[in-house]
Structure 1
Amino acid sequence: MIREKKVIGIIGTGQLAEFIITGIHKVNAPYNFILSPRSYDRTLKLKNLFDLEIAESNQDLLDKCEMVFICLPAKNSLLILSDLSFRKENTILSAMAGITREELLKITNSKFVHTSMMPGYANASNKGPSLLFPKDPEWQKFLSFLGPVFQCENEKEFNVAAVIGAVSGASFVLFETLSKWFTDNNLSSKFSQKLLLETLRGNIDIALESDEDLSEIISKVSTPGGITETLVNQLDKQEALSSWKKGMDIILKNSLSRK
């Protein structure tokens, strides 16, 4: 039995859009996409890669699609959207970092505006968690094909949880920093990266499968005077661990300052 595919319009055809479309096609999820014509070379690439339709204009896209996924770069995004006439049937999901739901409610004059945060890269492999606020069964179903979905109860919860977007990107910088220590000490780059990532993956798998919280796991892997305690103490002396929290505080503060 052939499933009828729901059509979603995508405004903004950058890297995130490609990740999302890739993930949906990888599992043959029941969705098809109409692409906005901006950044035409990139849009044409996605059209040819996934056999998609390109709308004549952003307005044409809104007229054709009820569900609209917006992933424009934050800069100039509100100006672009202000030129459009959204229909009352349009239900919107925004993955634009730095653009608030209040701004979108005002500029689209729509009652159905939802916000999301996702890592992107992992969503292309159907392993990336997504945030969703407010709750919505249609968008929850769509996002579930790309990885686990965390539906937020209120905007305050979403704002705090959305900081994970910065943590996700910064984690790759952390991975590279740790891997580079091994290469600086004469291990090959490939060996170093594989050793680090496999170790972290094993730890993450154990933590996810365990009923214990992280503090209980730490008490088992860190012995008094041992190598784990030695490294953690050195990181604490340099405020390396607390700097992560300070950076996350800044991301949250910047987000709230727009409201």
Structure 2
Amino acid sequence: MLAEAVRTPRFALVPTAAGALLALTACAGGGGAPDPAPSTGQAAAAEEESSSATGAQPPGELEQGEVPEERPELDEADLPDEPADDAPLNERIAFEALERISSFAQTADPDAEYTCPDIAGDEGESATCTVTFMGEEFDYSVDIESSGFIVQYQQDMPEGPVVREAVQEQLRYSTGAEKVLCDMDDVVRAEPEAAVEDATCFYDDGGGEVRQTGVSVGTYGVPEFDDA
């Protein structure tokens, strides 16, 4: 679930703060006894797990494509024009919702629809906006925390779209493989920082083997792979 705090002037949409993730890491001191060597059975299991990704059988022929030189991401030029600073608050937040959903998907949908109910910007007000992206509806909710010239609100996007073509492009970039195939629907739903269910990708490792990997997405929708 992606939640952020945003401050919005009533007359201009200028997000100034993003939610921060606090990572706590534990540091282990030296001097402890070394970990015991794995047993023969454990070593065999680990080797089997390591080799299980190779020699995979994809459900179809791998798809050929160029390896991107840079990490794929949304081209914001493909989005509609942003509402003017003096547009109603609900229109500007609706566009923000479209922008966030499209960024999560790493691609734009020219037929996307995005709408918010009327939003006065009053403290304590809540609203749920809807973005219809590639035929799927996604919620984008806002909770107004303070108002005035600056409207401060929390926004939440519980799920985002994961697009097969965009995942395959990210896999090419991550592995350097031209031939890849992701076994999944054209667009599926996923929570931020979660595995993408019913999605398995395959790629040519360049050494004559086909490897397979699961797919997850990060906080902002960037696909991540178990074996890449």
TM-score w.r.t. the length of structure 1 is 0.26
Which has a greater percent of helix? 1
Higher fraction of strand: 2
Structure with the greater relative contact order (CA < 8 A, sep ≥ 6): 1 or 2?
A: 2
